[in-house]
């Protein structure tokens, strides 16, 4: 479908959220089809919500024209690889999902399932941290030196939290409440950490990556490490 008109988001019916409205239109599109929309408000949050719901099948960009933002959205082809930022965001979401699942199990007092979920999260999260530290932090440079230093410190804090959580998981169901408390602390740490990375570091890493002659090799290495981490996390032995 050629992209021939622009949807003005101010005209979305009042009882429908712009997010739901745009999502309902995008769901009808096939691979490589596009939609354009205009909004007077910064679309970053709106598009993050839609992208999450579309499971990163969307390629989007926006242009500011002094009065508002023109957003161009396109449905990614199935064989089209995710760019770096989407690859990392998707990995964040997968880990956040694990954490939510662990809370759900704890809420049902299903200790074994919760501990199994936490063990899977541990593998995926450690892989993610090592990948960011080793492959991506060096892309930062002076302009994001402080954000990079904070990222590394937060990684160290998260690793300490994972050690504490592993200790609690090695105990018994009597410590259900304690595990819930530690997971709550981890969730708060990750929430702040992921937001900082996504807003400050990912755009910088993307820009630097574009200039690198070895960008394809680096991107492939990042993807394969994260994919391998998720695969290994799925095969963590569960308690029976
Ligand atoms: Fe990180
Ligand atoms: Fe991250």
Helix (H, G, I), strand (E, B) or coil at 14: coil
Q: Domain coordinates of the chain in residue numbers?
A: 6-75, 84-234
Dist. CA 211 → ligand 2 center (Å): 21
Query: Long-range contacts for 219-223 (Cβ within 8 Å, ≥24 apart)?
Result: 219/81, 219/84, 219/87, 221/135, 222/84, 222/87, 222/88, 222/131, 222/135, 222/136, 223/81, 223/82, 223/87
- Quote the ligand 1 centre to 155 CA distance (angstroms): 6
- Sheet of 69-75, strands arranged across: 6-8, 34-39, 69-75, 58-64
CB 229 within 8 A of CB 236: no
Indicate which ligand has the atom closest to the C-alpha of 155: 1
Q: How far lies 23's CA from each of 1, 11, 53, 54, 114, in Å?
A: 17, 15, 8, 8, 33
- Return d(Cα 61, Cα 52) in angstroms, integer: 15
Q: Cα(55)–Cα(74) distance, rounded to whole angstroms?
A: 13
> What are the pLDDT digits (tens) for 103-158?
999 988 899 999 999 999 999 999 999 999 999 999 988 888 999 999 999 999 99
In this predicted structure, the answer to whether residue 34 has a pLDDT above a threshold of 80 is yes
Q: Which ligand is nearest to the CA of 157?
A: 1
How much distance in Å is there from the Cα of 44 to the middle of ligand 2? 18
CA of 123 to the centre of ligand 1 (A): 14
2, pLDDT greater than 60: no
Ligand 1 centroid to residue 181 C-alpha, Å:
21
Whether 203 contacts 143, CB under 8 Å:
no
Which ligand has an atom closest to residue 88 CA?
A: 2
Q: Indicate the CATH number for domain 6-75.
A: 3.30.110.40
In this structure, which residues have their CB less than 5 angstroms from ion ligand 2? 197
Superfamily of domain 84-234 in the CATH hierarchy = nmb1532 protein domain like (1.20.120.520)
Taking phi first (over 0 means left), then psi (-120 to 50 degrees means alpha), and beta for anything else, what does residue 44 get? Answer: alpha
C-alpha 184 to ligand 1 mean position (Å): 18
Using pLDDT thresholds of 50, 70 and 90, give the confidence band for residue 84. very high
The protein residues having their C-beta less than 5 angstroms from ligand 1 (an ion) are 132
Say which residue, 38 or 2, is predicted with more confidence. 38
Gap between the Cα atoms of 92 and 85, Å rounded: 10
> Quick one: which ligand is closest to 159's CA?
1
In the block, which residue shows the tokens 């160290």?
Answer: 156
Ligand 1 mean position, distance from CA 201 (Å): 10
Banded pLDDT at 174 (limits 50, 70, 90): confident
Query: Considering all CA atoms of the chain, what is the largest pairwise distance in Å, rounded to the nearest integer?
Result: 62
pTM of this structure: 0.79
């Amino acid at each position: 479908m050629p992209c021939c008109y622009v949807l003005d988001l101010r005209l979305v019916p009042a009882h429908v959220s712009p997010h739901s409205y745009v999502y309902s239109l995008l769901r009808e599109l096939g691979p490589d089809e596009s939609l354009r929309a205009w909004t007077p408000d910064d679309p970053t949050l709106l598009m993050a919500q839609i992208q999450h719901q579309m499971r990163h099948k969307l390629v989007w960009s926006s242009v500011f024209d002094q009065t508002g933002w023109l957003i161009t959205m396109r449905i990614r082809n199935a064989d089209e690889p995710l760019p770096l930022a989407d690859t990392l965001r998707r990995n964040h979401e997968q880990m956040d999902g694990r954490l939510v699942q662990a809370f759900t199990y704890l809420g049902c007092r299903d200790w074994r399932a919760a501990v199994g979920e936490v063990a899977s999260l541990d593998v995926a999260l450690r892989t993610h941290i090592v990948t960011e530290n080793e492959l991506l932090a060096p892309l930062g440079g002076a302009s994001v030196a402080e954000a990079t230093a904070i990222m590394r410190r937060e990684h160290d804090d998260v690793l300490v939290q994972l050690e504490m959580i592993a200790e609690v998981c090695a105990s018994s169901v009597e410590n259900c409440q304690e595990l819930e408390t530690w997971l709550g602390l981890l969730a708060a740490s990750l929430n702040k950490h992921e937001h900082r990375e996504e807003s400050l570091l990912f755009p910088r890493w993307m820009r630097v990556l574009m200039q690198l002659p070895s960008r394809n090799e680096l991107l492939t290495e990042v993807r394969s490490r994260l994919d391998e981490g998720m695969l290994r996390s799925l095969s963590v032995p569960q308690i029976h």
